[in-house]
Amino acid sequence: MGIISPAERLTVPTDFCEPVEAGLLTVDLSALVSNWRKLASLSGGAECGAVVKADGYGLGQAAVMRALAGAGCKTFFVANLLEGETARALAPEATIYVLDGVVPGCAPRLAAAGLRPCIGSFAELEEWAAAGATLGRKLEAALHFDTGMNRLGFAPRMAADVVARARGIAPTLVMSHFVSSQLPADPINARQIADFLPVRAHFPGVLASMANSSGVFLPEKPYFDVVRPGYALYGGNPTPGARNPMRAVAHISARIISVRDLSPGDTVGYDGVWKAPRPSRVATIGAGYADGLPVSATAAPEKPAGEAIVGGARCPFVGRVSMDYVVLDVTDAPKGAAERGQWVELLGESIDVEALAARARTIGYEVLTRLGRRYARRYAG
């Protein structure tokens, strides 16, 4: 199936079966690959890996990994053992790092799948070395140093001790994680880089990695040997406050299943939180918070509501976002666009993930990773 235009996405092309579901998620794999190639081109010759945790940020780990591997991506990062085992089945020759590290008891399965845990404690180090001794070989791993996140990782001052105690494993990567790379003027970025440089010096010949999506755009250019973008691959903006340099990957459409006219004063939805200020026309679409639309996109005083594109017009959510439904005020939509069976855009070219997240007072990462499984899914490109 080729790339389909935004207009085609909204009308659902007739060259494939009309989905019986009331929601449609189209994943533009060519845009995903384009984003990966763009990030690779900006990374100063460093290898560009890909973070594919949380089911490929909600878009489908299998499709995402196949597309990226086909484009040349050779290194993937996942969160946990189960994601790693899935990744190994999808990409038998890839290098796969597990960000959780060595969770107690997981070492045998990590080793069996050829996964490389990101080790950040001496307890993990000992468990991984012991697993290698049982197998009669040194097992590969990343060594994670905490330069400010205070979440996972060795303290930088421990670098010499880590070198001494890591002789039972085979380090292939030394890494850290930015706290505020999306804020290029934040001085913590430069401080973290300064703290990481002496750590890296303790591991000559071992690859180093620090830059996430936003890290690729920092003025300090902290590319080192491997960059590991995630959010930007999937169309998220790695440069908040500036134009998004990435292409949209996720496109969500929903079908109108009911339309009705309201008189002034009529309310909509649970608790009657919205009251029609004029004669109004409203449309109910078959998607709600069970499909990943944030309940916080509900209209509230002094807060913008979520929106949908109906026939080219922006139509706000009215009433509460409920489990299965959202109601739209389509009073000002073009005639004929807001009718039963028509498709409306919730996420895509006109409403990007940042805009939807802002109107729900959340972040785009949450929007993507909570996309529901009830959507019909189309993979384009």
Sheet holding 116-119, edge to edge: 47-48, 226-227, 207-209, 170-175, 140-144, 116-119, 95-98, 75-78, 50-51
Rounded Cα–Cα distance for residues 353 and 246 (Å)? 11
Cβ neighbours of 120 (radius 10 Å): 24
Instruction: Verify whether residue 221 is a known catalytic residue.
Output: no
Residue showing tokens 């509900």: 298
Which one-letter amino acid corresponds to residue 241?
A: G
Instruction: Verify whether residue 289 is a known catalytic residue.
Output: no
The candidate with the shortest Cα–Cα distance to 114, out of 71, 81, 153, is 81
Rounded Cα–Cα distance for residues 119 and 142 (Å)? 6
**Residue 327, beta-bridge partner list:** 284, 318
Residue showing tokens 């008891």: 105
Instruction: Tell me the three state secondary structure of residue 334.
Output: coil
DSSP output for 101-155: ---TT-HHHHHHTT-EEEE-SHHHHHHHHHHHHHHTSPPEEEEEB-SS--SSSB-
Which of these is catalytic: 38, 53, 231, 379?
A: 53
Which of these is catalytic: 138, 221, 234, 270?
A: 270
Which one-letter amino acid corresponds to residue 4?
A: I
Q: Judging by beta carbons within 10 Å of its beta carbon (0-12, 13-18, 19+), is residue 233 exposed, middle or buried? A: buried
Is 259 within 8 Å of 340 (Cβ atoms)?
yes
Task: Count the alpha carbons within 13 Å of 13 in the hemisphere toward its beta carbon.
Answer: 14
For residue 199, the Cα-to-chain-centroid distance in whole angstroms is 29
Is 171 within 8 Å of 183 (Cβ atoms)?
no
Q: Which residues are the active-site residues?
A: 53, 270
